[in-house]
Amino acid sequence: MDFTIVAYAIPFLLTGAKTTLLISMFGVGLGLPLGILVALARTSRNRLVCKAADAYCAVFRGTPMLVQIFVIYYGLGQVGLFRSNPVIWWLIGDGLHAAILAVLLNTGAYTAEIFRTAFLSLPRGLIEAAQSCGMSPWIILRRIKFPLALRQALPSYSSEVAIIVKESSLASTIAVLEITGWAKRLMSETFAIMDIFIITSVFYLTLNVVGLTALKLLERQLWFERRLTRTKATSPCPS
Amino acid sequence: MFEIFWSLIVEQGWGLALLRGAFVTICIGVLGMVIGLIAAVPFAIARWQRVPVLSQVVDVYSIVVRGVPGLLVIYLLFFGSVDWVQKVAVAFGYRDVAESAYPSIIGILAIAAISCAYSVEVMRGALEAVPKGLLEAAKSLALPPHVAFFRITLPLALRLALGGINNVWQMTIKDTSLVSIVGMQELMRMAVIAAGITRSPLLFYCIAACLFFAMTAVSQTLFGLGERHINRGFSGG
């Protein structure tokens, strides 16, 4: 490995890492609430809401992310209505915004799937107990359903976070220079394909390891809480 | 509006071009998946049996490929291989053949390399999930190791792996869209060309999305049927 190339490449890749991080942050920060909302819609009693949410998930999970990003960035700009609306144009007119929107919508569908199974796996008895205590649906959601579903969903969601980081690389196809975009540019500039690949993989692996470790810590935190409450509730003499 | 679409898709022949692209996409996907699976079985066995050096190498390969974006793997294979493919082709005098077939071959290999990394994990998990008692029973009947493997372990592991293989396939068929970036004439590339020439990106990208959606939906149904077939006789399985 040639260290001059490493020293040359790292500043560029660091600026790319900022963009990747930005897209991923939005993907996690807004994609998680979106996914939970859609999951709730999919488990709701209202047929129309349920069908619409199902369709959204099916479309975004059934088509490649590349197609979605192209439809959003190149396709929607063709519609005059969207072009004249300043809010929508702000969202899709800029490469970075379009990439964030695409990642957000994509991860929303996958997250919804994860949380839907988590909501479905909740024991009925708990919810019935909450209802019989006279809790309102909102309180049941906030105090019973959501904490339990989060614990169920967290292991799968952590792999979804790794996927978000990887999917953000597709932003480079619409000329947003994030890590992969810079890597491609550096590859064609220096011809040190393998060196650049190794450095870039180190960047991605670091991002993933940091993200996964954070989620694992959160997971442990949640399980710890559960263990405490269980020993308090069930065993008369703590061991 | 509708007449414009009709003239673009039928009279200018873009519909047919997209369908041809879709066929190429399916070919790349299936070939990549099959090559990846065939390569994944020995790798998974190496990891399952903890073969000293090979198992660590496979581990690193699978972690790296699963940890970095598919696009980056494709760039590595494409840009990394241009040089020596040229050399080999010139040395053997197949320059024209190499230039025309090169993107397809590297594209399929790239897809195979990605799907293989995921398949290794699926297969390893399935192999480890085969009950130990069955293997001990096979050993106690003095079955030779290879017979025990092909008659007992592999069929059971394949049953357990089918769900995971389905997931890998769904991902692989969607990943094939990435090789369009490096100029392979599959569905996504066709859509990009059509969108560029006719200047109606919305229409053509939506058609591409529909075709991809049809592929994933059909293969999902087929896998569902296959799963039911392979699970017959296993109650609740």
Of B69, B208, B209, Cβ closest to residue A166: B69
ipTM for the whole complex: 0.85
A168 found inside a domain = yes
**Do B162 and B230 contact (CB within 8 A), yes or no?**
yes
**Has residue A96 got a pLDDT over 60?**
yes
User: What is the reported pLDDT for B29?
Assistant: 92
> A1: pLDDT confidence band, cut at 50, 70 and 90?
low
Closest CA to B191 of A71, A157, A28: A71
B236 to chain A, any CB pair closer than 8 A? The answer is no
User: What is the reported pLDDT for A36?
Assistant: 93
Of B75, B79, B213, Cβ closest to residue A62: B213
User: What is the reported pLDDT for A225?
Assistant: 62
Furthest CA-CA distance within chain B: 74
A91 found inside a domain = yes
Query: DSSP H helical segments within B93-200, as ranges?
Result: 95-129, 132-140, 145-148, 154-175, 187-198
Write out chain A residues lying below 8 Å of B176, CB-based: 64
- The owner of tokens 């897809």 is B111
A110-160: per-residue pLDDT in tens? 999 999 999 998 888 988 999 999 999 889 988 888 888 988 888 889 889
Of A68, A187, A204, Cβ closest to residue B67: A204
Q: How far apart are the C-alpha atoms of B190 and B204, rounded to whole Å?
A: 9
**Do B138 and B173 contact (CB within 8 A), yes or no?**
no
Quick one: average pLDDT of B5-27?
Answer: 83
**Has residue B236 got a pLDDT over 70?**
no
User: What is the reported pLDDT for A235?
Assistant: 47
The token pair at A201 is: 């993989």
**CA distances, B150 to each of A160, B39, B161 (Å):** 35, 16, 15
Contact B212 A67 (CB under 8 A): yes
Kindly state the percentage of chain B with pLDDT values over 90.
37
What angle, 0 to 180 degrees and rounded to 10, lies between the N-to-C axes of helices B187-198 and B201-230? 160
B106-123: per-residue pLDDT in tens? 889 999 999 999 999 999
Give the three-state DSSP class for B50: coil
The token pair at B62 is: 């699978």
B148-165: per-residue pLDDT in tens? 888 888 888 888 898 899
The token pair at A67 is: 């197609």
- Domains: count for chain A: 1
Give domain B2-230's CATH architecture.
Orthogonal Bundle (1.10)
A193-219: per-residue pLDDT in tens? 888 899 999 999 999 999 889 988 888
What CATH code is carried by the domain that includes residue A74? 1.10.3720.10
Range of the domain at A94: 3-229
SS (H, E, C) chain A: CCHHHHHHHHHHHHHHHHHHHHHHHHHHHHHHHHHHHHHHHHCCCCHHHHHHHHHHHHHHHHCCHHHHHHHHHHHHHHCHHHHHCHHHHHHHHCHHHHHHHHHHHHHHHHHHHHHHHHHHCCCHHHHHHHHHCCCCHHHHHHHHHHHHHHHHHHHHHHHHHHHHHHHHHHHHHHCCCCHHHHHHHHHHHHCCHHHHHHHHHHHHHHHHHHHHHHHHHHHHHHHHHHHHHHHHHHCCCCC
How far away is chain B from the Cα of A1, in angstroms, using its nearest Cα? 15
Residue A65's closest chain B neighbor by CA?
B174
Contact B206 A208 (CB under 8 A): no
User: What is the reported pLDDT for B58?
Assistant: 92
A176-189: per-residue pLDDT in tens? 899 999 998 998 88
A239 found inside a domain = no
What angle, 0 to 180 degrees and rounded to 10, lies between the N-to-C axes of helices B154-175 and B201-230? 170
**Has residue B84 got a pLDDT over 90?**
no
A184 found inside a domain = yes
Kindly state the percentage of chain A with pLDDT values over 90.
49
Quick one: average pLDDT of B120-130?
Answer: 91
The token pair at B172 is: 């692989």
Furthest CA-CA distance within chain A: 70
Chain B stretch 42-101, residues whose beta carbon is closer than 8 A to a beta carbon of chain A: 63-64, 67-72, 75-76, 79-80
The token pair at A167 is: 């999917």
Quick one: average pLDDT of A226-231?
Answer: 58
A82 to chain B, any CB pair closer than 8 A? The answer is no
The token pair at B219 is: 């293969």
User: What is the reported pLDDT for B237?
Assistant: 44
Q: Cβ of B145: how many Cβ atoms within 10 Å? A: 11
Quick one: average pLDDT of B199-213?
Answer: 90
A32-48: per-residue pLDDT in tens? 999 999 999 998 888 99
**Has residue A67 got a pLDDT over 90?**
yes
- Give Cβ neighbours of residue B17 (< 8 Å, ≥ 6 apart): B190, B193, B194
> A229: pLDDT confidence band, cut at 50, 70 and 90?
low
**Has residue A5 got a pLDDT over 90?**
no
Closest CA to A147 of A223, A217, A212, A213: A223
**Has residue B170 got a pLDDT over 80?**
yes
> A231: pLDDT confidence band, cut at 50, 70 and 90?
low
Looking at every residue in chain A, the average pLDDT score rounds to 87
**Do A158 and B50 contact (CB within 8 A), yes or no?**
no
Domain layout of chain B by residue ranges: 2-230
**Backbone Cα Rg of chain B:** 22
User: What is the reported pLDDT for A110?
Assistant: 94
